[in-house]
């Protein structure tokens, strides 16, 4: 087991990752804003090697699936022991999540939920998955980062953690920036422009250089609505329902 921890503070947000490849962490989360926040103690990371809970000298964690079929399945006894070990520690009080294509889809609302809690325990699967009994008996929820298959849950865990960590107080200095992002208002983000004002025959929309903040806000909202309606009709319908419920 390894632990990465910045300078101590009263209650850093805690991420505990159960994995067969602890060396994959913090990975990109050790860089940029997330890496700075890790060093400053805004959040803490612990990796737990699932193989430490194997029951034989070969450190086996998987076996063939009952009923036949390709691949191997992670054993329930090994995984449950790893989960129980973490749950019995002070950092183990958060939600326990297994990264799985069949889980609830990760979205911005879930990222905010997790950021407002004390932390999370993430289980990274491999092979053909994990024994269902471990999920059922330990009350483990399943979360998906998208409708595609990855080689393992580690990449998905990095995605989830990145989405959450950037929402923690103190990670992004300008809180207003978070309010302007995609999904913050239920819409995709409006187009962005910067210097040069004219580039390859294309000029920045005049409204953005007008200095009229009311017109700029109205233009950005209209652009966000247009993009959302065209590219994400599912979000657009949800946005309309939300606006209707607000009166």
In the β-sheet with 141-144, what is the strand arrangement from edge to edge? Answer: 2-4, 43-49, 13-19, 119-123, 95-105, 141-144
pLDDT at 178: 66
Give the other-Cβ count within 10 Å of 119's Cβ: 23
From residue 143, how far is each of 96, 130, 180 by CA, in Å? Answer: 10, 14, 26
Nearest to 168 by CA among 47, 48, 40: 40
- By CB atoms closer than 10 A (0-12, 13-18, 19+), residue 155 is middle
pLDDT at 7: 36
Q: Which two tokens stand for residue 112?
A: 């905010």
Q: How far apart are CA 119 and CA 98, in angstroms?
A: 14
pLDDT at 11: 82
Check if the beta carbon of residue 193 is closer than 8 Å to that of residue 181.
no
Q: How far apart are CA 154 and CA 15, in angstroms?
A: 13
**Under DSSP, is residue 112 helix (H, G, I), strand (E, B) or coil?**
helix
pLDDT at 9: 43
pLDDT at 192: 95
Task: Report residues of the chain scoring pLDDT below 70.
Answer: 1-10, 89-93, 174-182
Q: Which two tokens stand for residue 25?
A: 């962490």
Model pLDDT for residues 185-239, shown as the tens digit of each residue: 899 999 999 999 999 999 999 999 999 999 999 999 999 999 999 999 999 999 9
Nearest to 183 by CA among 108, 243, 236: 108
Nearest to 25 by CA among 118, 129, 160: 160
Per-position DSSP letters for 72-102, written without gaps between them: -EE-HHHHHHHHHHHHTSGGGGSEEEEEEEE
Alpha helices by DSSP H, 149-212: 153-165, 175-179
pLDDT at 183: 80
**Under DSSP, is residue 109 helix (H, G, I), strand (E, B) or coil?**
helix
H or E stretch at 229: helix 213-231
Q: Which two tokens stand for residue 213?
A: 């903040």
């Amino acid at each position: 087991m390894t632990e990465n921890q910045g300078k101590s503070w009263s209650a850093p947000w805690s991420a505990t990752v159960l994995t067969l490849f602890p060396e994959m962490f913090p990975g990109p989360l050790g860089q940029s804003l997330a890496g700075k926040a890790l060093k400053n103690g805004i959040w803490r990371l612990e990796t737990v090697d699932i193989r430490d809970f194997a029951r034989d000298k070969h450190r086996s964690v998987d076996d063939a699936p009952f009923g036949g079929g390709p691949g191997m399945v992670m054993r329930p006894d090994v995984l449950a022991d790893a989960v129980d070990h973490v749950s019995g520690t002070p950092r183990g009080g958060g939600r326990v999540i297994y990264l799985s294509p069949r889980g609830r889809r990760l979205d911005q609302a879930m990222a905010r939920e997790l950021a407002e809690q004390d932390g999370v325990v993430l289980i990274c699967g491999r092979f053909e998955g994990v024994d269902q009994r471990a999920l059922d008996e330990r009350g483990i929820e399943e979360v998906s980062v998208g409708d595609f298959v990855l080689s393992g849950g580690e990449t998905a865990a990095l995605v989830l953690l990145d989405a959450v960590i950037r929402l923690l107080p103190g990670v992004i200095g300008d809180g207003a920036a978070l309010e302007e992002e995609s999904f913050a208002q239920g819409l995709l983000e409006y187009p962005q422009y910067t210097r040069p004002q004219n580039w390859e025959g294309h000029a920045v929309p005049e409204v953005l250089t007008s200095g009229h903040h009311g017109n700029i806000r109205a233009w950005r909202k209209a652009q966000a609505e247009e993009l959302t309606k065209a590219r994400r009709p599912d979000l657009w319908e949800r946005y309309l329902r939300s606006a209707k419920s607000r009166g």
